[in-house]
């Protein structure tokens, strides 16, 4: 089990509120990130052995605007 080395600061929370994300820095090993990236790619490309019929996925819009996003899969 991994634990965070430090807690999120008030400044980081403010950045999250403003930008919608917070930069955490180096929180895990590169090999673990590679495994996670590969797994997400498999899921999103439809090649993973997962229950897709129980998942909701949604593509980004081609314009970058939230209101232009296509419908979620069901």
Looking at the domain assignment, is residue 57 inside a domain?
A: no
22 in Cβ contact with 6 (< 8 Å):
no
Confidence (pTM): 0.53
Number of domains in the chain: 1
Per the structure block, which two tokens stand in for 45? 């490309």
Looking at the domain assignment, is residue 74 inside a domain?
A: no
The whole-number pLDDT of residue 40 equals: 92
Phi-psi region of 43 (alpha: psi -120 to 50; beta: other; left: phi over 0): alpha
22 in Cβ contact with 36 (< 8 Å):
no
Domain assignment of residue 16, given as a range:
10-52
Note the pLDDT tens digit of each residue in 30-71.
Answer: 999 999 999 999 998 889 999 988 988 888 889 989 889 888
The whole-number pLDDT of residue 21 equals: 92
Looking at the domain assignment, is residue 21 inside a domain?
A: yes
Looking at the domain assignment, is residue 40 inside a domain?
A: yes
Angle among Cα 30, 34, 43 to the nearest 5 degrees reads 155
Looking at the domain assignment, is residue 1 inside a domain?
A: no
């Amino acid at each position: 089990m991994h634990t965070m080395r430090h807690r999120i600061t008030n400044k980081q929370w403010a950045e999250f509120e403003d930008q919608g994300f917070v930069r955490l820095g180096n929180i895990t090993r590169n090999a673990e990130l590679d495994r996670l990236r590969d797994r997400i790619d498999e899921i999103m490309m439809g090649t993973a052995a997962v229950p897709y019929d129980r998942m909701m996925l949604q593509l980004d819009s081609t314009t970058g605007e939230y209101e232009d996003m296509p419908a979620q899969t069901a």
